[in-house]
A and B are shown apart, each in its own frame.
Chain A
Amino acid sequence: DAGITQSPRHKVTETGTPVTLRCHQTENHRYMYWYRQDPGHGLRLIHYSYGVKDTDKGEVSDGYSVSRSKTEDFLLTLESATSSQTSVYFCAISAGTGGYYNEQFFGPGTRLTVL
């Protein structure tokens, strides 16, 4: 199994509070991704990173920011959580551009509930 951990695994928070989710990898892969999973929507890309301090937006990036100061860590921050951000969040990594030559490997997920 790819060495990907996510923390916390579960979190309940209140509307308006900041939340940071962490993804940690031990594979030294260049690409890292944050997805959210919601019923009826599959997985949707929030942000991704193609190197240290190199990040870009995905299709559902509003309300989220990311940072990557080290190869192994990719942080997802909800600056002011809203109920619409209640979801399961997955981190993924890839050795190369994830989706063509190189498959993505997924972490175990973080279940976030915003009350």
Chain B
Amino acid sequence: GDSVTQMEGPVTLSEEAFLTINCTYTATGYPSLFWYVQYPGEGLQLLLKATKADDKGSNKGFEATYRKETTSFHLEKGSVQVSDSAVYFCALGTPSGYALNFGKGTSLLVTP
């Protein structure tokens, strides 16, 4: 079935470090891919999305490229800030599905 696998955390980085959170997927057909972010005590917020191969989603300095050949959608940011500390979820949606399939989440802690 359709599924998402993302790297386990927690990930701890110093401020201004480069961030990569890996996400790979398994799906039939051509899914849409999403990254959501959850700040402590809050619900999930859509961070970025890509709906077809080679699309790059971007928002707030974060980027992810939909790579069909490697079935990946890795999240990157060039210089993280303390305010980026949160849990990040990779998710996919398919035309035949009715909801999103989420990864287990990756906790990011950025220290000053």
| A interface residues with partner B (beta carbon < 8 Å) | 4, 31, 33, 40-45, 48, 50, 56, 58, 90, 92, 97-101, 103-109
Contacts and interface: CB of A to CB of B under 8 A. Distances in A.
B94 to A, nearest CB: 6
Contacts of A104: 46, 99-100
Contacts of A103: 34, 46, 49
B89 interface: yes
Nearest to B45: A106
Given A40-B104, A42-B89, A106 B97 contact: no
B17 interface: no
Interface residues of B, number: 26
Contacts of A100: 31-32, 51, 93-95, 97
A99 B32 contact: yes
B97 A108 contact: no
B98 A43 contact: no
Contacts, number: 67
A107 B91 CA distance: 17
A98 B32 CA distance: 10
Most chain B beta-carbon contacts within 10 A, residue among A56, A97, A100, A104: A100
Nearest to A108: B43
Contacts of B31: 100
Q: Pick the most buried of B42, B49, B93, B97: most chain A CB atoms within 10 A of its CB.
A: B93
Interface in B59-112: 89, 91-95, 97-105
Given A42-B103, A42-B104, A101-B32, A90 B44 contact: yes
A99 B93 contact: yes
Interface in B8-28: none
Nearest to A91: B43
Contacts of A92: 44
Contacts of B105: 42
A98 B96 CA distance: 11
A33 B101 CA distance: 13
Contacts of A50: 98
A58 B43 contact: no
